[in-house]
Chain A
């Protein structure tokens, strides 16, 4: 259970990289929010993800190794974090699919309604002659 200095140094450097990436994401989210490019709910979501990533990146690797073993993953904390991350990403994509479906249906219905109203307004007497005069 002893950790050699070399290994320790590697872990720290890895954490610096992860921390830097998390910080980059937070900065990006902050900028997007300021430009109001993200809806409040999404801004909050991404902020939480950014902060979460930052916390994970500075937390001791040994802790995650222990949690991984506790839940039955023998290959270490990295694997556990990968699994969690992957699951989170899939959930996010699913959420986007749901939002997109809803958006598409709303848009389609709105376009149909508007196009039909436009056609009714623009149609000449002659085009209505058959049915409407019956």
Chain B
């Protein structure tokens, strides 16, 4: 099994990630039994990379399939949300001393070939949080309402942090050692973790950058439900980003309320 890497290694992948740093692939998964095996397999050829699938209270066979495909599986007893799943990945990365970690969707919309590019700024020490943007890569099509929502997120992120990010809601992102250490106790688990995290990371003083990344259209599951839900979703994300910016001193999320 140890030789599986060298045997299956994708040369371009191995060559581009220059110093071999211990990396944790964090795959949050909620009822993704249809795609999780393929996703884990696509990550296996990466050098010095362990894969953790965080099963966020799935009611299907996601956990068993992921384990069989060779991933470490963290299983939640119930559905806690994607923010909690990513945090669990960061906790594992912190606990086991990984030098970097990246988040990768279990639904097959992210592209394993884009990972070296995502990790590159971390290995040269240029950034702490790297966002993979589907829009920098070229013509990714989104519906008009989606596009409007994304524009709103872009505007709010820019207005509170000054960062010009084309795809702030992207779930394809990498964390440096420093980002892992800083975020492990306060990664937002309330709601839309992706946009909030950018604002939080910026406030903490982490360097946030964006790189192009290929993304595929989702094959399984409905990404956006009704337009009303999408609008509500966007409103909450904008609000979350804004209050993350305005909130008082940023300590660990659990603030001993009565201490």
A binding-site residues for B, Cβ under 8 Å = 98, 102, 105-106, 108-109, 111-113, 115-116, 118-120, 123, 126-134
Contact = CB atoms under 8 A, between A and B. Distances in A.
B5 A115 contact: no
A49 B254 CA distance: 30
A98 B257 contact: yes
Given A106-B254, A111-B77, A128 B72 contact: yes
Interface in B11-51: 20, 22-24, 46-51
B249 to A, nearest CB: 16
A119 B2 contact: no
A102 B257 contact: yes
A127 to B, nearest CB: 5
B156 interface: no
A127 B25 CA distance: 12
Contacts of A106: 254
B74 A115 contact: yes
B88 interface: yes
Interface stretch (B89-97, B113-121, B164-172, B175-183): B89-97
Given A105-B189, A105-B253, A105-B254, A131 B49 contact: yes
Interface in B62-83: 70-78, 80
B98 interface: yes
Nearest to A133: B2
A108 B80 contact: yes
B23 A131 contact: yes
Contacts of B84: 108, 111-112
Interface residues of B, number: 37
A112 B49 CA distance: 22
B211 interface: no
Contacts of B78: 111
Contacts, number: 83
B73 A119 contact: yes
Contacts of B198: none
Given A102-B257, A112-B189, A131-B96, 14 more contacts: A98-B257, A105-B253, A109-B253, A109-B254, A111-B84, A112-B87, A113-B91, A115-B74, A115-B75, A115-B77, A127-B72, A128-B72, A131-B50, A134-B22
A112 B72 CA distance: 15
Contacts of B98: 131
A101 to B, nearest CB: 8
Nearest to B74: A119
Contacts of A132: 22, 50, 96
Contacts of A127: 50-51, 70-72
A120 B96 CA distance: 9
Contacts of A129: 1-2, 4-5, 50
B189 A119 contact: no
Contacts of B192: none
A8 B80 CA distance: 57
B39 to A, nearest CB: 15
Contacts of B49: 130-131
B52 interface: yes
B74 A134 contact: no
A127 B20 CA distance: 18
**The 4 A-B residue pairs with the shortest CB-CB distance in the complex, in nearest-first order:** A131-B50, A131-B22, A134-B48, A119-B74
A87 B73 CA distance: 48
A129 B78 CA distance: 29
Contacts of B92: 116, 119-120
